[in-house]
Structure formats: C-alpha cells, structure tokens
C-alpha cells in the first residue's frame, strides 16, 4: 500500500530556534509521524537567527530561483535544506533577503511586531507550496502549525485548488495561545487577493487582528488541532462554530499517536 504523505508547515522547529511549545512539536512530530509509516516533508522559514554554519544549511539550487510577487513586488525565493541526523529527517527552509535576513523572528529588539509580518507570512505560505510543486510531491494532508502558516488553507482551497498535486490535499491547522495585540497591515486583503481569491473570501480580514487571521485559517481548513492547553475564548468560539473535526489538546505522552489517528480520520481513503 502506498504511504500516506504529510506536509508539515511549521513556524518554529528546534534546534534551529530555541525550545518552545511550537518548536518542540516542530522537531518531534514529523519524526514520530514518519516512524508511524507516513512519508513526510517539513518546512520552516529561514529566519536570520538560524545559524547556517552550525546547522549545516545549504541552498538547493534546483528548487531556488523563482520570484514570488507580494504586494506588486518580485521577491526571489531561495530554498535551503538541513538534516536532523538523529531523526533521519530533512528540513526545508524558505529564505528571502527582504523578509528573513533580520536578527529577530517576529518582533524587533523592542518586542514590536514587524510591520511586514503579513507579507512575510504570505511569502512563506506561497514559497512552501511552489516548492512542493517543484518537488512533484503530492501531499495527502497539509499540517500548518502556528499563525505564520495561516494563509496556507485559503491558498490550497482557492489559488492552488486546480493544481493536480493539491487537488485532494486536506488541511489541518494547529491553533496556539500565541496571540499578539497589534493589527496586521490594513492593506492585507489587497495583498492576498488574486485571480482565484476574491475580496469576499477575505472579508474576515477587514479587521486584520490575530483572531481574525486565525478565523480565516479555520474557515478554509478541514480539521483543527488545539496546540495549547488553553486558547482565547474568541478562538474557541470560532472553532466550535466551524463544525470541523477537532483534536483537543494532547499531552507530551499522547500527542504523537493522537495526531497520527487524527490525520487518518481527515485523509480520504485512496
């Protein structure tokens, strides 16, 4: 029987970033799912704080070289890769000088969110999906972890809906207690709009808050995972109203088997 394929799109993975709720899952979840018999690919942004020499990142020339248009501007897409030997797992990195060559991850040295975080997230989402097309690898399930992957569900359901590689892909979105208080750029709807994404599809982003960005991701997903023990009540309400399959928060001891079973529930039988 052909192995089921899971694409992981993660905001953080240790050891490339410090250990956190998201980065630890980013490290051990793909390995655990691979050990349970599924084929995987794993992506994260190549933030400026990722030490390329220590982690032995190198550019994948055959995958790099295309430009992605964000806010009417061409931005070169660079793909790098590193291996976690103990896990027999590769991690692909989405890189771009304009968006990721800065010392900090999501906020500046004064802990203020970067003004272009919306564009960075959109570039990351598009970059992953375009790279998967170049790899000619059709995922059965796409798991986005963290708000930085929040544009992936709508891109899969709208922009890439007719691409044969993604035509049968299901999307699972992990929600965390990682909210920020500032709003994203007010021009976000215009930036996300395309031939396949109409303004009405993005109505929830008329007020571009953290909560509404998560609501957009929930709206276009096929399943939701609660990644933190507690979530903001507004997010909990959006999850309840979605009527989607939901996996409740899992402990360190239970999450690998629980996620694997949840994926099988979401992935259609071949």
What's residue 181's pLDDT?
A: 82
What's residue 12's pLDDT?
A: 95
For residue 41, what are its two tokens? 């690919």
What's residue 263's pLDDT?
A: 98
pLDDT, average across residues 104-130: 93
The 10s digit of each residue's pLDDT in 180-233 is: 888 999 999 999 988 689 999 999 999 999 999 999 999 999 999 999 999 999
What Å distances lie between residue 59 and 13, 81, 99, CA to CA?
Answer: 18, 6, 17
Residues 6+ apart with CB under 8 A from 254: none
The 10s digit of each residue's pLDDT in 1-41 is: 789 999 999 999 999 999 999 999 999 999 999 999 999 99
Residues 6+ apart with CB under 8 A from 27: 13, 14, 15, 84, 87
What's residue 138's pLDDT?
A: 96
The DSSP 8-state label assigned to residue 163 in this structure reads: -
Domain of 88 in residue numbering reads as: 5-266
**CATH number of the domain residue 43 falls in:** 3.40.50.2000
The number of domains in the chain is 1
What's residue 270's pLDDT?
A: 61
Decide if pLDDT at 179 tops 90.
no
Q: How large is the angle between the packed helices 255-266 and 21-35, nearest 10 degrees?
A: 70
Q: Distance between CA atoms of 198 and 241, rounded to whole angstroms?
A: 23
Task: Give bridge partners of residue 78 from the DSSP assignment.
Answer: 95
What's residue 8's pLDDT?
A: 98
- Reduced to 3 states (helix: H, G, I; strand: E, B; else coil), residue 205 is helix
What's residue 200's pLDDT?
A: 94
Q: Distance between CA atoms of 150 and 174, rounded to whole angstroms?
A: 9
What's residue 79's pLDDT?
A: 97
The 10s digit of each residue's pLDDT in 56-107 is: 999 999 999 899 999 889 999 999 999 998 889 999 999 999 999 898 899 8
């Amino acid at each position: 029987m052909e192995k089921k394929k899971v694409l992981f799109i993660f905001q953080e993975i240790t050891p490339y970033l410090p250990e956190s709720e998201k980065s630890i899952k980013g490290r051990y979840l793909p390995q655990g799912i691979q050990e349970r018999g599924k084929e995987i690919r794993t992506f994260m942004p190549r933030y400026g704080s990722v030490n390329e020499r220590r982690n032995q990142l190198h550019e994948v020339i055959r995958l790099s070289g295309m430009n992605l248009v964000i806010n009417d501007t061409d931005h070169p897409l660079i793909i790098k890769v590193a291996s976690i030997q103990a896990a027999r797992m590769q991690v692909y990195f989405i890189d771009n000088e304009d968006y990721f060559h800065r010392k900090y991850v999501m906020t500046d040295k004064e802990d203020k969110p970067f003004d272009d975080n919306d564009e960075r997230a959109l570039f990351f989402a598009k970059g992953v999906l375009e790279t998967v097309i170049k790899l000619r690898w059709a995922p059965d399930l796409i798991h986005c972890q963290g708000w930085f992957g929040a544009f992936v569900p709508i891109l899969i359901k709208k922009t890439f809906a007719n691409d044969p590689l993604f035509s049968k892909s299901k999307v699972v979105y992990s929600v965390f207690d990682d909210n920020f208080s500032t709003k994203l750029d007010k021009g976000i709807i215009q930036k996300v709009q395309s031939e396949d994404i109409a303004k009405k599809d993005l109505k929830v982003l008329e007020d571009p808050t953290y909560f509404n960005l998560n609501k957009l991701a929930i709206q276009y997903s096929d399943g939701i995972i609660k990644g933190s023990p507690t979530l903001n009540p507004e997010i909990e309400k959006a999850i309840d109203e979605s009527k989607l399959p939901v996996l409740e928060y899992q402990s360190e001891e239970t999450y690998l088997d629980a996620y694997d079973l949840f994926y099988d529930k979401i992935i259609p039988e071949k």
